[in-house]
Amino acid sequence: MKIASRMGLIDSSGIRKIFDLAKNLSDPINLSIGQPDFDVPEPIKQAACKAIEQGHNRYTLTQGIPELRERIKIHIEAKKHASVEEVLITSGVSGGIFLSFIALLEAGDEIIVPDPYFVMYKHLTRLLGATPVYLDLEEDFSLDPKKLEKLITPRTKALILNSPSNPTGTVIPKDTLREIAEIARKWGIVIISDEIYDGFVYEKDYESIAKYYPDTLILAGFSKEYAMTGWRLGYAAGPAKLVNEMIKLQQYTFVCAPSMVQYAGLAALDFDTESFRKEYVAKRDIIYNGLKDKFQVTKPDGAFYIYPKAPGGSGTAFVTKAIENNLLIIPGNVFSEHDTHFRISFAASQETLYRGIEVLNRLAGQFCGGK
């Protein structure tokens, strides 16, 4: 069997190595998980069951059920103060990333990717024969618009933003969004704005760059805010020209997002998640306060990750040591071209967080060159 050579352009060895190391742990302190530690709220589960009972089990329209598309448009106007031309219901935000990258990028194109980044951006770009151009973030994970502009070439097609961010938890402030929008307008670049963590914002006022720049494709969804990661529901919203191409592609790939889950999405939009957000503020405070004395660490504004600098300088070396001590975390080279940090997910019980903090602080003392 001869596998397509493009598969050689992507690899999952970084994360596999970590799971290989971790597989012998019987009851690890697990701070590696990228999904909430609460279950799907009851009314949303009931809405899914009811949709099944009512026979919503067939293909839906490719672009999604009209009720949900309409509700999402209203939701974007109310919450993100932006108006969008077209909405496509996707199979998770991953579905939206996949469709938008294929619709936009061709071999030789460049997409600017702030580093650290969510893993899928890099690999999908490479799979398409396009080039990820990395924009190194500052020490505090802020984005310098001047550095962004310097990376633009005639081949630059798009910029991807992820605010709040996985893995850093940073929220891009309004002023920076405005500056980025100006640069994108000047150079005619599309912005893909991955807003999957928009339900978990703790500090800054959250805004979507779509408010300032109409050539923005918003990708967001239900996986994190409602803990529906396995249900595969997201949306892409933005310029009709781009979204219509994505709809065409969905017809030949995903076909549609799961039918009963789309109906459950309507119930989700009626569900208030403020209590979850508050719980996660408390978890964020526990982990940040627990680490700040021994680690160089930036307080996350959102999402449920914190991204400390690795004592000793190597993310992989530090994480290997952590795993030997029964603590599961992820090295920064999974999310970055630099192996200097590590990612902690604080989507875990408070007890697990305290156990993790204890191990991390103990290890920090063993590495020279720590804080």
Q: What angle do CA 270, 196, 63 make, to 5 degrees?
A: 70
Of all residues in the shown chain, the one whose CB is closest to ligand PLP is 92
The C-alpha atoms of residue 346 and residue 160 are separated, in whole angstroms, by 25
Instruction: Please identify, using beta-carbon distances, which residue of 172 and 364 lies nearer to ligand PLP.
Output: 172
Q: Is 33 in the site for ligand PLP (CB under 6 A)?
A: no
Q: 3-state DSSP call for residue 187?
A: helix
Chain centroid to Cα 311, Å, comes to: 26
Shortest Cβ 253–ligand PLP spacing (Å): 14
Q: Is 143 in the site for ligand PLP (CB under 6 A)?
A: no
Shortest Cβ 223–ligand PLP spacing (Å): 4
- Using CB under 6 A, pick the residue from 32, 62, 166, 316 that binds ligand PLP: 166
- Using CB under 6 A, pick the residue from 62, 170, 223, 314 that binds ligand PLP: 223
The H or E element spanning position 74 is helix 66-80
Helix extents (H) in 206-310: 240-251, 259-269, 274-291
- Spatial CB neighbours of 294, under 8 Å, sequence gap ≥ 6: 311, 360, 361, 364, 365, 370, 371
Please list every residue from 85 through 124 that binds ligand PLP, using CB under 6 A: 92-94, 118
Shortest Cβ 164–ligand PLP spacing (Å): 9
Q: Is 194 in the site for ligand PLP (CB under 6 A)?
A: yes
Shortest Cβ 285–ligand PLP spacing (Å): 22
Specify burial of residue 272 (Cβ count, 10 A radius: 0-12, 13-18, 19+): exposed
C-alpha separations of 332 from 144, 164, 309, 353 in Å: 21, 17, 9, 19
Q: What is the DSSP letter of 68?
A: H
Q: Is 361 in the site for ligand PLP (CB under 6 A)?
A: no
Based on C-alpha coordinates, what's the Rg of the chain?
Answer: 20
Shortest Cβ 166–ligand PLP spacing (Å): 4
Q: Is 132 in the site for ligand PLP (CB under 6 A)?
A: no
Instruction: Please identify, using beta-carbon distances, which residue of 177 and 303 lies nearer to ligand PLP.
Output: 303
- Using CB under 6 A, pick the residue from 41, 145, 169, 221 that binds ligand PLP: 221
Instruction: Please identify, using beta-carbon distances, which residue of 94 and 314 lies nearer to ligand PLP.
Output: 94
Q: Is 264 in the site for ligand PLP (CB under 6 A)?
A: no
Q: What are phi and psi of 161, to 5 degrees?
A: -120, 150
With beta carbons less than 8 A apart as the criterion, state whether 340 and 324 touch: no
Please list every residue from 37 through 96 that binds ligand PLP, using CB under 6 A: 92-94
Which residues sit at the interface with ligand PLP, rule CB under 6 A?
Answer: 34, 92-94, 118, 162, 166, 194, 196, 221, 223, 229, 234
